[in-house]
Structure 1
């Protein structure tokens, strides 16, 4: 239900907008912080979940069922005359795609760290995600009002993990001890003002607070002036002059925008400690859209476009950060406008970056683009959405009925189509086979998975030609659960899941000969085709080498191609266990034909019989796919991960140090051993490990494992 008592947030221009992504691990308190900020700004009058009515479409249903944040959400608030767009990102590693979308739409990040959990591996990984895109960051330490919280210890952890640019901007004052310990106020190190949170009359701040704050302020001021490169203020500071707080605050914004300075604020969402201060700090500490570099843009001929800026009067350049389907309003997009102005019901040009074709395939570029009419523009307000007019450069909004929109698409003018270079989508590495639960689901499955991938490019769907399974590739089990939930409740398609079958193959281990005799008489024309073949193994990757060894016309020339066709067909179907045959030389050296009953089909069948006969007398080797794997982990886990790879029959071929105390391990590992490695590595590395894989070759499967393999496909 829309709360009509809350005003629609509106910005006078790009300089009056702040786009801020809230980033942090699950449990750090991001969503509670968003709710507290909305309450403090008067954008949400009643207590309850901030998640209601604040997304592209279906956050309430999916997230209530999943019991976790899975979407990027928009929550705009007004702070004075500045519109602050809070982009709440998921903290779970499985939804890193939504995090990266949030970073693309933001101009700064508010990094949320819990005072109880401190800095762990997952927190460091998220910080690196922000650093990789050069995102300015401030830090909010939440739960400082908990009796066990130690604000200064967490700040020290942040400095150790994130660098010397991390400095406390506020210092909390405490009274009591143990379970009775409570926050009574905050001392602003820049403003040198005390913010009282104690309701008792006559309360005064602790006597030693100003002394502690003075030492921290001196370090903070030096860092701000140095990072902002303000020579005038530096000269005044070194001469001992009085520093104007307004000038220092202006330099604070420059220092944050430069990316080397990260102020830390203390927050207690249950008591409201620091929420008002944070709300005031966001507009003055975080850069506006005009201060951020413009993303790379190309024209339809992929030529770079220069000179674009965050100008409402410039050419339209916007990007779809997230999409969701709705049965009533169609596909809705969360859109960031970088240049120009987007108007409701305007004709726009959508241009994507490729059609995902699976983790081992390549992306085919989407060069056509398509035109369509955008629907109404809106922003979340209170517990519902409110329509807005045109949305200018630097702002973020929801666009209803965005035609055929996919996450990552560029929105531009049909008169001047442009394309923004995409952000880096994570590679899904956890596969599961899916199949329609009923015949009615079968009819809708293809359309449903196409819509699923359009909304979430972190998913891949492919049909494996060898195993004939439809495989859904995800980032982890939580990502898989959310995808299956959307398939059932959004698209109305129920699927059954099963283990992915690894595409095994087979080859001859030694030479063999086979006879194919296809002679049938049933009145009229019969079938007659006899061929003798010799089969020899070839090196890996050679495929089929077919040799015509017929002399004297034992098999007429017109039927030689028929024999090769039959051999290829039987190789694809496999023999014995049914795995496709590869890497063999087949020589046709003898045979017989009939002047009436011989035909193309007769010799194809004879060739199939001959290859099966050769396989019956020879030893076959089952081949398994082997992947080249690169694993990146913290340096102290190097030995543990190497041992684990060796236990998976992997061969470690090298390792090398990586920045930030990390290490990269290169190995060759059978696919049978790493089907669920995305989950297992996360557990082994406490959420800090990452890996990539690519197909390398097929190698013989150990005989003990090959014994008793079930038949994969029919060769009868």
Structure 2
């Protein structure tokens, strides 16, 4: 596409913490650009964003919302991203495909830390972003104090674009630091120019000089002007803001009150003037727009009741036409999403549109119609699951539909995982937290008519033995015809942790014929599936050392039963012991919360292995520990509650370890173990 064809397109993501007012800002952006005939609000559940039933129920964004509007000949596509930390994967997937990002936050100094992971992601991907301080009518702190607090969580310098006139409920307008023109807010109407308030001259000059000095760090000409006390022109300042924002060198800061439309038009003007064009964004991604081959990337997958599967894509180069074949799949419709779903014949470079019926295409995939191998575009990292529930269909007849429904659910939400656990035989649904999984379960019920029963997942305990024992088992059964006879001696021994199971035989003289060895091993393995404590047995060796047989009555099945009898008699004499899975966790938190994390982990029977500064994260620490999996279920809930919601962890299975006796006694009593004798001790 040529530059003049894409310069009239912008894609902008709206992100920020939960309750910062992103959906309200989107509604205001659509309202002031005449894209709506009636402005909705979150309380009345009638906004363009948050239209899903799950969002209405919770009065919060639960998935990516798309809306489009035209302002001053530029077609804007806004992606309203969920604010809950549990739904962050939706945002991360979408951010890789936009030209600019508006970070919405409240002017509360104590909560700016919640923006730290988001700023880190934006800077790592070099995505241009602005800050919109919402709800400024509730601010009880100085604007510059909020600005200074924001600087502590951003690796890019923050540049004030405006200065407020008034504070809190007394906020009446702003001063544009580029033009030094003062404006008075009016609900539902553009702000009016007013005479400059002389009482704010000193504060405004300090803020403006901070803006110019920051810009001069990237413009030698501007630096020379400042040194010579020459006032730079408005055009030069705007050009510097555009270049520096497009290169992700600075973060301009705006403010307002979205539910009253205060500050929304200046934000739009800035996006119009300073946000990078699609070709600039493509160049930053290393994509050449002169290529005729269409190239797109999937940002989100939807399953709709009427339209089926829709793949929201960013078109990076070329044009996509309805009916075109991408990645071997025919495009079954092109749509602009938003207030209404509008059919298109084509989508051009820079646009974000939905493609229909791309059945085998998934979020993050790169799409092209080229016969030549295509380099995959970088995609957002998949967040590791940290919270799980066991699920089962309320109606047994629905079990056959569950696998198919889960596949679609995971296609729509890539942060989910599911597994059928081999040991506990439960279906486990993994996600980013309790709210995340509750939303997923609501979708299963509403979209697929699959109501679920849930429970806390069972811990996959194992058991082993501490002592050796030579056990004898004899099976003799007479039925009137051929009988059944098998006789074995099994040497049961403990093995080092992690060795699993080993079967061997040391038969001499043919006291047990070779054809019966498989039956013996089968009997041993069958028994080890559930040992004396009620759990699978690991780290044990069993050796067939002796036995006897009958030339007529012996069979493989008889020796299998004899082996089970020997194992049942012998295992209790080997002092069985309960093992629990231990996971290795790496917890990442701001340094101020490190001591809290150490207490949390220690209070959950964890073993701290060490902690250090987190690489490439300013002001963050990384705590490494070993933790019983039984203590991990709600760890993420406590961690987030103690770290303003920003703490996170990754984990992996590490090893099995003996359960402390007192813990084992409580657990075995609760599970109704057959032994009823603590941790296997007699």
Normalising to structure 2: TM-score of the pair? Answer: 0.92
Q: Which residue of the partner structure matches residue 187 of structure 1?
A: 175
1:562-585 alpha-carbon deviations (Å, 9 max, x no partner): 2122212221x2222221111112
Q: Residue in 1 aligned with 2:680?
A: none
Q: Are the equivalent residues in 2 in contact too, given 1:633–1:662 (CA < 8 A)? A: yes
Count of residue pairs the alignment pairs up = 663
Q: 1:201 to 1:690 in 2, by over 3 A?
A: closer
Distance 1:414 1:446 in 2: 34
Residue number among 317, 320, 323 corresponding to 1:342 in the alignment: 320
Give the C-alpha shift of residue 491 in structure 1: 1.3
Distance, in Å, in 1 between the alignment partners of 2:597 and 2:203 is 45
Give the 3 Å change call, closer, same or farther, for CA 633–404 of structure 1 in structure 2: same
| Alpha-carbon separation, structure 2, partners of 1:524 and 1:421 | 72
The answer for the alignment partner of 2:440 in structure 1 is: 483
Structure 2 vs 1, CA of residues 318 and 52 (structure 1 numbering), >3 Å: closer, same or farther?
Answer: farther
Q: How far apart are the structure 1 equivalents of 2:404 and 2:389?
A: 19
- What residue is the counterpart of 1:642 in the other structure? 598
Contact 2:27 2:47 in 1 (8 A): no
Q: Are 1:376 and 2:333 an aligned pair?
A: yes
Note if 1:170 corresponds to 2:178. Answer: no
Q: SS of 1:105's equivalent?
A: coil
Structure 1 stretch displaced more, 561-570 or 146-155: 146-155
**Cα distance in 2, alignment partners of residues 72 and 201 from structure 1:** 35
Partner of 1:258: 247
Q: 1:135 to 1:713 in 2, by over 3 A?
A: farther
Which consecutive residues of structure 2, in runs of 5 or more, have no partner in the other structure?
Answer: 676-682
- 2:329, 2:358 within 8 Å by CA — same for their partners in 1? yes
**1:636, CA displacement in angstroms?**
2.4
- Decide which moves more: 144-153 or 132-141: 144-153
2:287 maps to which of 287, 297, 308: 308
| 1:253–1:286 CA contact under 8 A, matched in 2 | yes
Q: Is the contact made by 1:464 and 1:471 (CA closer than 8 Å) also made in structure 2? A: yes
Contact 2:112/2:150 (8 A) holds in 1: no
Contact 1:173 1:205 in 2 (8 A): no
Q: Deviations over 1:593-634 (max 9, x none)?
A: 111221122211211111111013231011111111111112
> How far did 1:459 drift?
0.3
Query: For 1:129-528, what aligned pairs fall within 5 Å after superposition?
Result: 129-146=121-138, 148=140, 150-162=142-154, 165-174=157-166, 181-183=170-172, 185-197=173-185, 204-227=195-218, 229=219, 231-292=220-281, 308-311=287-290, 313-349=291-327, 371-381=328-338, 383-413=339-369, 415-416=371-372, 418=374, 419-528=376-485
**Deviates most, 620-629 or 523-532:** 523-532
In the alignment, structure 1 segments of 5+ residues that lack a partner are 1-10, 297-306, 350-370
CA contact (8 A) 2:336 2:353 kept: yes
| 2:117 is the alignment partner of 1:125 | yes
The correspondence for 1:692, drawn from 612, 625, 650, is 650
Q: Does structure 1 conserve the Cα–Cα contact (< 8 Å) formed by 2:40 and 2:47?
A: no
For the residues of structure 1 that align with 2:224 and 2:25, how far apart are their CA atoms? 39
SS of the residue 2:111 aligns to: coil
Determine the C-alpha separation between the residues in 2 that align with 1:675 and 1:455. Answer: 25
How large is the RMSD of aligned CA atoms in angstroms? 2.6
Match of residue 501, structure 2, among 525, 533, 544: 544
CA deviation vs aligned residue, 1:536-556 (integer Å, no higher than 9, x gap): 111011122222121121101
Question: SS of the residue aligned with 1:559?
Answer: helix
Deviation of 1:713 (Å) = 9.8
CA, structure 1 residues 201+599, in 2 after alignment: closer, same or farther (shift >3 Å)? Answer: closer
Which segment is superposed worse, 115-124 or 546-555? 115-124
Deviation per residue, 1:331-383 (Å, 9 max, x gap): 0121111222111222221xxxxxxxxxxxxxxxxxxxxx32222222235x3
Change (3 A) 1:93 1:576: same
Question: Do the aligned partners of residues 451 and 518 (structure 1) sit closer, same or farther apart at CA in structure 2, a change above 3 Å counting?
Answer: same
Aligned partner of residue 180 in structure 2, secondary structure? coil
Give the structure-1-normalised TM-score. Answer: 0.87
Kindly indicate whether the alpha-carbon contact (under 8 Å) linking 1:139 and 1:265 is maintained by their aligned counterparts in 2. Answer: yes
Distance 2:114 2:628 in 1: 28
Q: Which moved more, 1:632-641 or 1:196-205?
A: 196-205
* Distance verdict in 2 for CA 1:685–1:148, change over 3 Å: closer
> 1:52–1:60: 8 Å Cα contact kept in structure 2?
no
- What does the per-residue CA deviation read over 1:470-517, in whole Å, with 9 as the maximum and x for residues that have no partner? 100010011011100111101111111111111111111101122222
Measure the CA separation in 2 of the matches of 1:604 and 1:201. 91
| Whole-angstrom CA distance in 2 between matches of 1:667 and 1:564 | 39
Report the alpha carbon displacement of residue 182 of structure 1 after superposing the two structures with TM.
Answer: 3.4
Question: Which residue pairs with 1:702 in the alignment?
Answer: 660
Query: Alpha-carbon deviations, 1:219-272, whole Å to 9, x = none?
Result: 212322323x3x344444444445332232121111112223111112122332
Task: Give the superposition deviation at 1:149.
Answer: 6.3
Aligned match for 2:581, one of 603, 613, 625: 625
Per the TM alignment, residue 662 of structure 1 is displaced from its structure 2 partner at its CA by 1.4
In 1, Cα distance between the equivalents of 2:516 and 2:65?
66
Partner residue, 1:8: none
How far apart, in 2, do the equivalents of 1:127 and 1:308 lie? 24
